[in-house]
């Protein structure tokens, strides 16, 4: 187990280093830089000052080296857009994204897996067909469209807030009120994130259930007179859940590292939106820090996925 | 150097003659209290107006800081503000300003002439390197300030200035007792950055900073020591709280406006948004206001820098005014306005549109849509379609084919370049459009690494003297050939001389005559082609009262102290 953890930790470190370094270098090498934010006709002195502050007056490799040396001391540089160190900014955004991502994950899991068991364990019928059709529709719809549609419906009906994470002044009434306010803002972005994931899990689970259905051990169990419910949940599902576990880690990583589109459209102050703004502005150290955090969360996600797979499939432990 | 800014700050003008007077949603006796939620697109990078000139910083300075005089964004008149009156010398160089008595900073410290002296010193301090400094210089030199007593300030300009005291609209007055240590230590540019605790920021504006949550909002509270009073003699502002929600996406911003989550925005509506907003207006939730014709229009120009383009065989005909005039004749401006701005635009013939009522000249040379005339002009400079491929070429076979770069993701830019390319192709000029991300476009613009560009540079001032970087050949925003050592052409030398003369002239009529001549020279030479200027519309929630909409930005919050809401507690 210790070797497994050590291997995972090493993988995470390499992943974070590679992703953040690539992000920094690609942002640096792309045409244009952060000084464009000063405007097309900004004073030359201000442009030069900004270039020096963000290391753009050095070569890309020298800048990367300097950034690595400072990052080793936990100094990840400043953001141009926010004019402050990127560390606290990214941590705060990652917290907001984690809150949203975990809610979406819970929704997707609670909806996708049971529905997948349901549709996968039945060969025909109207209801399974309907679930399949809805799943396919959710898979086909781009998150941009679903986010905009949800925001539009919220704006027209007033049933839910049309964006943002909190109402101004909500925190004044204490923690309880703040939590309730965040929960009030959560359904819209969480649903936009959860729908395609739920559909993916449903399709995967259903396919896997269908494959397991013909296995001899299930026929033997059925021959022993077990109830259908027991047959599906106690015998078929533990075997059919393995492919779901295999992708679950990636799903967790993707949700935790933030969605550009959903967070941007719903004005959720998370990592995805921060990364998008940083990329558009070529805010180089903010891009690198967001990429590093996203990479870390992806590593955490794959780790959780591996643990789940080990729990679901004893054969993996022996590998 | 400030010149033209993509951000489009500060002075803009009044609605044009043909535009309606701004509709003011006046409440007979405004209700005091309550909160108003507005949206902003970008984060505040600083609370120090000297350190940045972006729109959010400018808005926050308007809300939290004071100035000696104010240019009214609706009437364009100069108004007394912290200075209650002034006297100017006949030569227009010396201005004596008398400060209002009994004013206090938000922390209770008395406001005196020492604060004004400190602010003037800070803005011109080379260590601070304030971007606002260039807009405040006269004849390229800083103004001098003296204070005979606590309530009097004498400002002396290096030479007579046409704009006169209007320049001071750009000077934020800062608290000496708070910021002087930073100026002495050479760290004023870093003072009041985005991480500063709200309690440390002191001002004389109608609101005080209460909270800034990055990525979410800026919360401002009423300044209890604000100096202005309403018609009832009670202190302003009416609102207890003003919240600026950070909503970077314009689609989401519109939806939140429609849903009532925000009361007003800080930008005009896009042409595509008029229909849903009109529907909301019919339902009684939103109020839509026509601001008038935009003082800025989209421009199209070629790089005319001889040092860069001399080796390019196309430069031989691009540099001729007949070539540019031919393109101007080829474009049907009425159709352009209909297609690009969905009919909500007017044709224009120069950079000063009818939205800038004070400086607009209706008598400039015009180029009516005439394809035959365009072809004749091209033939006159040796450009004909010799090989029958639809593109004209010179005798050496060099085709009139150009790449036009524009900013990606902006609907009217992309529509504008498409229409322009279609219409230019009718006379044999081929334009290949390449939309670029803004950073890449700016990099190529500054290096003159392009054939042609289509974009809308916003004037930083409606007064031409406030935009020397556009008009002067040495200017950093002289779009077609920036920062020339000496004027590259005779007509640019002529414009330089006229602009310098009008900037020094004190008589408004003389200034206008001189500037009309400048516009005429530009319209004859056409270094930049302008086709249409959009009509601007603005919308706010119907619960908001006291909105005096302005074609300048911010359209409503420039007079935030007189805004109120109908459902305040």
CA dihedral sign, ordered B269, B275, B278, B284: negative
pLDDT tens readout for residues A128-182: 889 989 999 988 888 888 888 888 888 878 888 888 888 877 777 788 888 999 9
The CA-based diameter of chain A, rounded to the nearest angstrom, is 84
Per-residue pLDDT for A316 more than 80? Answer: no
On whether any CB of chain A is under 8 Å from the CB of B219, the answer is yes
Please state which of the ranges A201-215, B200-214, B363-377, B425-439 shows the lowest mean pLDDT: A201-215
ipTM (interface pTM): 0.73
Residue B19 has pLDDT above 70, yes or no: no
Q: How does the average pLDDT of chain B come out, rounded? A: 89
Residue ranges per structural domain of chain A: 86-318
Out of A181-185, A202-206, B4-8, B206-210, pick the least confident: B4-8
In tens, the pLDDT along B132-190 reads 888 888 888 999 999 999 999 999 999 999 899 999 998 999 999 999 999 999 999 88
pLDDT of the residue at A67: 92
Q: Model confidence over B437-480: pLDDT tens digits?
A: 888 888 899 889 999 999 988 777 888 988 888 999 998 889 99
Chain B residues within 8 A of A86 when measuring between CB atoms: none
Angstroms from B369 CA to nearest CA on chain A: 32
Residue in A46, A83, A276 to test binding to B, most B beta-carbons within 10 Å: A83
Q: Using an 8 Å CB-CB cutoff, list chain B residues near A39.
A: 5-7, 53-54
Share of chain B above pLDDT 90, in %: 67
Position B14 scores a pLDDT of 32
pLDDT at A7 over 70: yes
Q: Which of A252, A262, A268 has the alpha carbon at shortest distance from A143?
A: A262
User: What does the pLDDT read at residue B12?
Assistant: 32
pLDDT of the residue at A185: 92
Neighbouring C-beta atoms of residue A91, cutoff 10 Å: 13
Distance CA B53, CA B8 (A): 10
**pLDDT one-digit tens code per residue, B470-497:** 999 998 889 999 999 999 999 999 999 9
pLDDT in tens, B258-308: 888 899 998 888 887 888 898 889 988 899 998 889 988 999 999 999 999
Provide DSSP, B301-330. EE---HHHHTTSTTHHHHTSHHHHHHHHHH
Q: pLDDT tens digits, residue range A265-284? A: 888 899 988 999 899 889 99
Distance from the Cα of B51 to chain A's closest Cα (Å) equals 10
Q: Is B440–A80 a contact, with Cβ atoms under 8 angstroms apart?
A: no
Q: Is B298 or A31 the better-scoring residue by pLDDT?
A: B298
* DSSP string for residues in B72-100: -TTT--EEESSEEEEEE-TTS-EEEEEEP
pLDDT value of position B569? 62
Cβ pair A36:B248 closer than 8 A = no
Chain A partners of B4 at a C-beta cutoff of 8 Å?
A: 40-41
B438 vs A32: CB contact, 8 Å cut-off? yes
Per-residue model confidence (pLDDT) at position B18 = 40
A241 — pLDDT class (breaks 50, 70, 90): confident
Scanning B155-174 for CB atoms below 8 A from A yields none
Q: What is the CATH number of domain A86-318?
A: 1.10.3720.10
| Chain B residues with beta carbon closer than 8 angstroms to that of A155 | 255-256, 258-259, 261
Contact B480, B527 (CB under 8 A): yes
pLDDT at B260 (0 to 100): 87
* pLDDT confidence band for A301 (50 / 70 / 90): confident
Q: Does B15 have pLDDT greater than 50?
A: no
Nearest CA-CA distance, residue A37 and chain B, Å: 8
Distances (CA, A) of B193 to A25, B47, B55, B64, B523: 28, 6, 16, 14, 44
- How many Cβ contacts (< 8 angstroms) between chains A and B? 145
**Residue among A30, A32, A41 with most chain B CBs within 10 A, to mutate:** A41
Q: Which residue has the tokens 């969360």?
A: A297
Average pLDDT, chain A: 86
- Count the residues in chain B: 569
Q: Which residues pair with B97 in a beta bridge?
A: B86, B153
Q: Which range among A130-139, B10-19, B366-375 has the greatest average pLDDT?
A: B366-375
Which among A46, A96, A169 has the least Cβ separation from residue B129? A46
Q: Which range, A43-47, B40-44, B156-160, is most confident?
A: B156-160
Residues sharing a CB contact under 8 Å with residue B145, sequence separation 6 or more, in sequence order: B116, B117, B120, B121, B153, B154, B155, B156
Residue B314 has pLDDT above 60, yes or no: yes
Which position has the token pair 């459209």? Answer: A265
Q: Which residues of A touch B193 (CB under 8 A)?
A: 83-84
pLDDT at B440: 86
pLDDT of residue B457: 81
Among chain B residues, the shortest Cα distance to A273 is held by B215
CB contact (8 A) between residue B131 and residue A156: no
Task: Give A132→chain B minimum CA distance, Å.
Answer: 31
Q: Which residues of A touch B37 (CB under 8 A)?
A: 168
More confident residue, A257 or B549: B549
pLDDT band at A317 (very low <50, low <70, confident <90, very high): low
Upper half-sphere CA count for residue B252 (Cβ side, 13 Å): 27
Q: Between B250-259 and B274-282, two packed helices, what is the crossing angle to 10 degrees?
A: 10
Report the share of chain B in percent with pLDDT over 70.
95
More confident residue, B567 or B308: B308
B11/B420: higher pLDDT: B420
Task: Give B404's pLDDT tier (boundaries 50, 70, 90).
Answer: very high
């Amino acid at each position: 187990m210790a070797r497994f953890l050590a291997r995972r930790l090493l993988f995470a470190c390499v992943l974070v280093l590679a992703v953040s370094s690539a992000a920094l270098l690609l942002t640096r090498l792309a045409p244009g830089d952060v000084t464009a934010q000063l405007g097309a006709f900004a004073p030359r002195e201000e442009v030069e000052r900004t270039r020096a502050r963000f290391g753009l007056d050095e070569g890309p490799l020298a800048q990367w080296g300097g950034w690595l040396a400072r990052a080793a001391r936990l100094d990840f540089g400043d953001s141009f857009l926010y004019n402050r160190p990127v560390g606290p900014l990214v941590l705060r955004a990652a917290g907001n994204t984690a809150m949203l991502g975990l809610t979406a994950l819970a929704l997707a899991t609670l909806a996708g897996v049971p529905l997948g068991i349901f549709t996968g364990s039945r060969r025909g019928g109207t209801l399974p067909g309907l679930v399949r059709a809805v799943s396919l529709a959710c898979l086909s719809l781009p998150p941009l469209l679903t986010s905009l549609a949800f925001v539009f419906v919220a704006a027209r009906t007033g049933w839910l807030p049309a964006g943002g994470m909190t109402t101004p002044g909500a925190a004044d009434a204490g923690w309880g009120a703040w939590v309730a306010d965040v929960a009030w803002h959560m359904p819209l972005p969480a649903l936009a994130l959860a729908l395609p994931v739920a559909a993916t899990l449903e399709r995967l689970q259903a396919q896997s259930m269908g494959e397991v259905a013909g296995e001899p051990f299930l026929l033997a169990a059925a021959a022993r007179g077990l109830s259908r419910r027991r047959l599906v949940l106690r015998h078929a599902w533990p075997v059919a859940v393995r492919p779901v576990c295999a992708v679950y880690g990636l799903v967790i990583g993707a949700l935790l590292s933030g969605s550009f589109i959903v967070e941007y459209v719903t004005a959720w102050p998370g990592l995805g939106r921060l990364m998008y703004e940083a990329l558009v502005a070529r805010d180089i150290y903010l891009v690198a820090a967001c990429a590093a955090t996203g990479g870390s969360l992806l590593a955490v996600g794959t780790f959780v996925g591996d643990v789940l797979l080990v729990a679901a499939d004893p054969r993996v432990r022996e590998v | 150097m400030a010149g033209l800014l993509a951000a489009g700050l500060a002075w803009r003008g009044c609605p044009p003659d043909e535009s309606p007077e701004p509709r003011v949603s006046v409440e007979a006796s405004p209700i005091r209290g309550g909160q108003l939620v507005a949206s902003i697109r970008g984060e505040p990078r600083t609370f120090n107006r000297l350190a940045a000139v972006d729109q959010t910083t400018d808005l926050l300075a308007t809300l939290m800081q004071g100035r000696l005089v104010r240019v009214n964004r609706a009437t364009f008149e100069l108004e007394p503000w912290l200075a209650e009156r002034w006297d100017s010398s006949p030569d227009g160089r010396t201005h004596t300003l008398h400060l209002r008595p009994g004013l206090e900073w938000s922390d209770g410290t008395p406001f005196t002439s020492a604060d004004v002296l400190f602010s003037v010193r800070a803005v011109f301090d080379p260590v601070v390197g304030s971007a606002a400094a260039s807009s405040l210089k006269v004849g390229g030199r800083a103004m001098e300030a003296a204070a005979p007593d606590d309530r009097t300030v004498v400002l002396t300009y290096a030479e007579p200035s046409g704009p006169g005291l209007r320049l001071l609209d750009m000077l934020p007055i800062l608290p000496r007792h708070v910021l002087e240590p930073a100026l002495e230590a050479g760290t004023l540019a870093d003072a009041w950055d985005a991480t500063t605790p709200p309690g440390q920021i002191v001002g004389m504006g109608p609101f005080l900073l209460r909270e800034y949550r990055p990525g979410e909002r800026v919360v401002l509270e009423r300044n209890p020591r604000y100096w202005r009073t309403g018609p009832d003699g009670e202190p302003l502002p009416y609102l207890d709280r003003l919240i600026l929600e950070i909503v970077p996406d314009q689609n989401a911003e519109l939806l939140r406006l429609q849903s009532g989550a925000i009361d007003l925005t800080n930008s005009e509506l896009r042409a595509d948004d008029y229909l849903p907003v009109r529907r909301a207006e019919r339902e009684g939730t939103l109020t839509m206001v026509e601001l008038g014709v935009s003082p800025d229009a989209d421009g199209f120009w070629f790089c005319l820098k001889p040092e860069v383009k001399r080796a390019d065989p196309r430069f031989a005909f691009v540099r001729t005014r007949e070539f540019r005039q031919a393109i101007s004749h080829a474009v049907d401006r009425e159709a352009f306005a209909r297609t690009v701005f969905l009919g909500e635009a007017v044709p224009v013939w120069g950079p000063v549109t009818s939205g800038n009522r004070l400086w607009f000249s209706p008598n400039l040379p015009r180029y009516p849509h005439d394809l035959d005339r365009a072809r004749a002009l091209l033939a006159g400079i040796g450009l004909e379609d010799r090989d029958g491929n639809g593109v004209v070429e010179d005798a050496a076979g060099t085709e009139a084919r150009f790449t036009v770069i524009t900013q990606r993701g902006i609907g009217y830019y992309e529509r504008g370049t498409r229409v322009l390319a279609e219409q230019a192709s009718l006379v044999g000029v081929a334009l290949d459009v390449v939309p670029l991300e803004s950073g890449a476009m700016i990099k190529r613009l500054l290096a003159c690494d392009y054939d042609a560009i289509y974009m809308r540079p916003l004037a930083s001032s409606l007064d031409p003297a406030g935009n020397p970087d556009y008009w002067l050949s040495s200017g950093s925003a002289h779009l077609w050939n920036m920062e020339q050592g000496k004027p590259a052409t005779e007509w640019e030398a002529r414009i330089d001389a006229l602009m310098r003369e009008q900037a020094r002239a004190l008589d408004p009529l003389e200034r206008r005559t001189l500037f009309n001549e400048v516009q005429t020279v530009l319209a004859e030479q056409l270094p930049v082609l302008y086709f249409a200027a959009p009509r601007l519309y603005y919308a706010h929630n119907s619960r908001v009262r006291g909105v005096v909409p302005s074609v300048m930005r911010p359209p409503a919050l420039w007079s935030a102290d007189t805004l109120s809401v109908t459902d305040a507690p």
